Chain A
Amino acid sequence: MANPAFPRPDMPGPQPVAAAKVGSEAAERTPLLRTSGGEAGDRVFQSAITACGLAVLGVLVLIVYELVARSSLSWHAFGFKFFATSDWDPVNEQFGALPFIYGTLVSSLVALVIAVPLSVGVAVFTTEMCPKQLRGPISFLVELLAAIPSIIYGLWAFFVLVPLLSNSVEPFLAKTLGWTGLFSGPSYGIGMLAAGSILAIMIIPIISSITREVMMVVPQHQREAALALGATRWEMIRVGVLRNARAGIVGGIILGLGRALGETMAVTMVIGNRPEIAKSLFAPGHTMASVLATEFSEATGDTYLSALVEIGLALFLVTIIVNALARLMVWTVTRGQPARGNA
């Protein structure tokens, strides 16, 4: 019904005509209309809402600005050498971030090595193998892992996982794989391996949910075609599903990597917090996030603080790049556009 009280010339269709009133004008107006301010209200509303949107942009700019501005002291003092030297000596104001970069990379890699096969296995089971009634509960339980806060993972790892590692897993690894040099030295439990293991548990829900998502996007006829050619179920999964979902699965893995790189509390509690580069995974280490967690609030001196902020800036940039890459890869699979040509 055209409302003569409120002409809207910018709208398509028949325009309201002020004629042929039935009752009094006041009776026709709804309470909703009476309390609305009209065009002025619209303008105010749109600017307020746009301001909220711009605030999101502003926050990111603010983060970048604060990180860059507050790390400039360290940047001017050490330059690129900051990322290539490994002395971390707050007393003599010598700072090199290499041990932290190393620790972050190694702990995340250990996490990926453990988490990727497990997550892909869970995704394969829930989408292709398990009975329909089990599908919901299992994925719900796996995603419940994502709801547990980092600090509780840390607490559990510190009191349960670390003793388990030091008493049984690490001695076993030292005996069987000690010759590689990766599993040697005293098994305290606390160290790179513990950090990698707890990170693995934390990133499994991310990787497996993305993997499941991209596997479900694979068209059903791919599966049927493989089965019709006489493939067994596993061959169908390998050729028909996994190969087609490849790019998306890699995207999910990178997304998990992004989470592992920035993870703080659980790692801080079990990695040992020593800025050393050791080949053995039993040795304690330090990550970029854990050094911030342990040293930031007691950092004395401007250079020290600035060096820590620079580590934060590096961590920020790396996670952004990793996340953007991952989203791009998942997107290529889930939004049509087959990212394959040779499969």
Chain B
Amino acid sequence: MPETAATVVVPPISLRRRITDQVMTGLAVLTVILVLAPLVAIFGYLVFKGVGSLNWSFLTQTPKPVGEVGGGMANAIAGSLMILGIASIIGVPFGIGAGIYLAEFGRNQLGSIIRFTADVLNGVPSIVIGIVGYAIVVLYQHHFSALAGGVALAIMMVPTICRTTEEMLLLVPQALREAAYGLGVPRWRTTLSIVLRTATSGVITGIMLAFARIAGETAPLLFTTLGNQFWNLRYDQPTAALPLQIYVYANSPYEDWHRQAWAGSFILILLIVTSIAAVRYVVRRGSFGAA
């Protein structure tokens, strides 16, 4: 109300303060531009260099001997899928199980300890996980293998899946559990068929996020799966993996291998973006609608 406001004398904001305000606003806009520039640059290069280097032989052939032009990363793509498959087979059940424990039975001291442990595991550097994979699988098998890499990646998956599963299960209304108990349904059946079923899309989101996180991991594979120039689909043999192959090719002095490293990166980011897009699709379909 301007009539009453007129009686209050508001001192004008000094020029210095107004300029500071403008400068700070400008700086904030600048930081956004500076932060988004690398993102645009990275995706730009990936698409520009990656798509340009992508061809049929890249997707269907194994690497050519050192220095020869041509060849592809078919074995690395297959190897990556195998390692990720092993990791998911081991990591997903344990992660979901631990999440169920935390949500349904974990309101006690042991639960808090496990919750804290999962958070700690989440922060362990991936290279250290690689050492553990080496120590617990490679040293017993006496050679590098896809299994060792899968175990290392599974260790990385568990904390993420565990904590998201817990969060999602806690979102399921208590009344739903009570309704099931009221019908005489045993607890295990309630948890699996009612609570977990209700939270399915959220749990899947957690799994896909964990998957996207480990799909590009290189460090834990360095001394567990080691890499391989040839086809290998056996779980107990050294196996090629897409990130490892990118690392080796980027460090090589050959122009053609650099080209392939870009193409490999493009495939890798495609894999990751697809899983993230799947997450967003699942989330948008309605979190707890189907209950």
Contacts and interface: CB of A to CB of B under 8 A. Distances in A.
Interface of A: 1, 3, 5-6, 8, 11, 16, 30, 32-33, 36-39, 41-42, 44-46, 48-57, 59-60, 62-63, 66-67, 70, 117-122, 124-126, 129, 138, 141-142, 144-145, 147-156, 158-160, 201, 204, 208, 230, 232-235, 237, 258, 261-265, 269, 289, 292-293, 296-297, 309, 312, 315-316, 319-320, 322-324, 327
Nearest to A144: B39
A124 B30 CA distance: 12
B42 A152 contact: yes
Contacts of A48: 97
Nearest to B96: A52
A92 to B, nearest CB: 24
A316 B125 contact: yes
Given A37-B186, A52-B98, A138-B32, A32 B27 contact: no
Contacts of B21: 232-235
B197 to A, nearest CB: 11
B55 interface: no
Contact of A118 (B35, B105, B135): B35
14 contacts: A1-B182, A45-B192, A49-B104, A56-B117, A56-B158, A67-B132, A118-B35, A149-B269, A152-B42, A232-B17, A262-B123, A312-B128, A320-B123, A322-B123
Nearest to A291: B127
Interface string B104-141: 11100011011001111101111111111011100000
A155 B125 contact: no
Given A56-B118, A144-B39, A323-B119, A230 B11 contact: yes
B188 interface: yes
B18 A122 contact: no
Interface of B: 10-11, 13, 17-18, 20-21, 24-25, 27-32, 34-36, 38-39, 41-42, 45-46, 93-94, 96-98, 100-102, 104-106, 110-111, 113-114, 117-121, 123-132, 134-136, 155, 158-159, 162, 181-189, 191-193, 212, 215-219, 222-223, 226, 243, 246-247, 250-251, 258, 261-262, 265, 268-269, 272-273, 276
Given A53-B102, A201-B38, A264-B127, A151 B265 contact: yes
A232 B10 CA distance: 13
A320 B269 contact: no
A237 B21 CA distance: 10
Contacts of B158: 55-56, 59
Q: Which 8 A-B pairs have the closest CB atoms?
A: A149-B216, A262-B125, A52-B97, A121-B31, A45-B188, A53-B101, A3-B184, A6-B184
A315 B183 CA distance: 53
B258 A263 contact: no
B258 A152 contact: no
Contact of A262 (B27, B124, B132, B272): B124
Nearest to A6: B184
B124 A320 contact: yes
A101 to B, nearest CB: 14
Contacts of A316: 124-125, 128
Contact of B219 (A52, A66, A148, A293): A293
A154 B101 contact: no
Nearest to A118: B31
A141 B42 CA distance: 12
A156 B98 contact: no
A337 to B, nearest CB: 18
Contacts of A234: 20-21, 24-25
A324 B127 contact: no
B32 A125 contact: yes
Given A53-B110, A56-B159, A152-B46, A124 B28 contact: yes
